[in-house]
Each structure stands twice: as structure tokens, then as C-alpha cells.
Amino acid sequence: MFKNITPEEITENAFEVIGKKWMLITPSNKDGIVNPMTASWGGFGVMWHKNVTYIVIRPTRYTYELIEKTNKYTLTFFEDKYRKILNLCGSKSGRDINKIKETGLTPIFEDEFIYYKECSLSIFCKKLYFTDFNPDNFLDNEIEKLYPKKDYHKLYIGEIIRVKSE
């Protein structure tokens, strides 16, 4: 059973749950499309006196199309036993498959947000800001090597509206 907690009560280490265990980004969608995308880049913090998350999405991703149409998204985190689901959601496009059907995830819809029965932590976010990465601003030459197709991410900063934990 999920309970609401404050952002300050999140005990997970962002470096661990994002960078090593990964998360799903799921944009809200009024058309009923549920398309989670696995991500291992992003973070939590404070910006403009608000608790926020930041995520990055390449414009080539189907999730990019969906998140551009909404101001709401969720970040969901899972126990290790769901690694296969995260692998599938990161390697297949929602343009080609129905990720919910393929993974067996159980979406929960709440106030236009989408999270999953199987997750252990959900962070509900409202977009506050976005910007496209500009390669002219990369100060480390190694970064450019991560973009052989020149498909630079868009950065989104979202205010944390609600947090649910098991």
C-alpha cells in the first residue's frame, strides 16, 4: 500500500536509484497512452525555492513527443526484481510495442499522473522549465562523444507535487 510522504522523507540515494538501479519516466497523457521510458540520468534538488527533479530526454525518443504535450510526469523506482522491465522500457520504443502489455506493469492513474502498482517509489512532477542542450556549452570534450548522432537531450525541471512510497 502506498503512502504519501514529503520530498524530504525520501531516503533513497539519488546516485544509486537513478544511476545504478534506473527509473521510469512516464509523461501524463490525456489520450490514454502509457509509455514509460527507462532513464539513468537525472536528479533531485532544490531550485527556485521548490523541491524539484530534473530529467533529460533525447528528441529521437517517443517519450519526448509525449512529454512535449503535457506539463506532468512521474518518476518511478523499482526493486531489483523488476530489472527486466526496466531493460525492455529502455531498449524498445513505444512507437513499436505496447510497453504496458509487454511488461505486465499495472498503471495507476491519479490526478492525470501515471505510476505503477509494482514500483516502490513514485515522484509526481509538474514541469517548470525546459531547455535544449547546446553542445557549444560543453566544457568537457568527453561529453560530445555521448552524442554521435548529434541528438542532444532536452532538460526538464519539474516541481515535485507529490511523493508516494511503499
pLDDT value at residue 1 = 87
What are the grid coordinates assigned to 78, written together? 523499482
pLDDT for the residue numbered 30: 86
Q: In the chain, which stretches have pLDDT less than 50? A: none
Q: What angle do CA 122, 128, 5 make, to 5 degrees?
A: 30
Which residues form the domain of 72? 3-165
- The rounded distance, in Å, linking the Cα atoms of 57 and 38 is 10
Total structural domains within the chain: 1
Residue pair 107/115 in contact by the 8 Å Cβ criterion: yes
Distance CA 158, CA 151 (A): 22
**What is the per-residue pLDDT for 111?**
93
Is 166 in contact with 121 (CB distance < 8 Å)? yes
Please tell me the predicted confidence (pLDDT) of residue 107. Answer: 97
The CATH number that applies at residue 31 is 2.30.110.10
pLDDT value at residue 67: 97
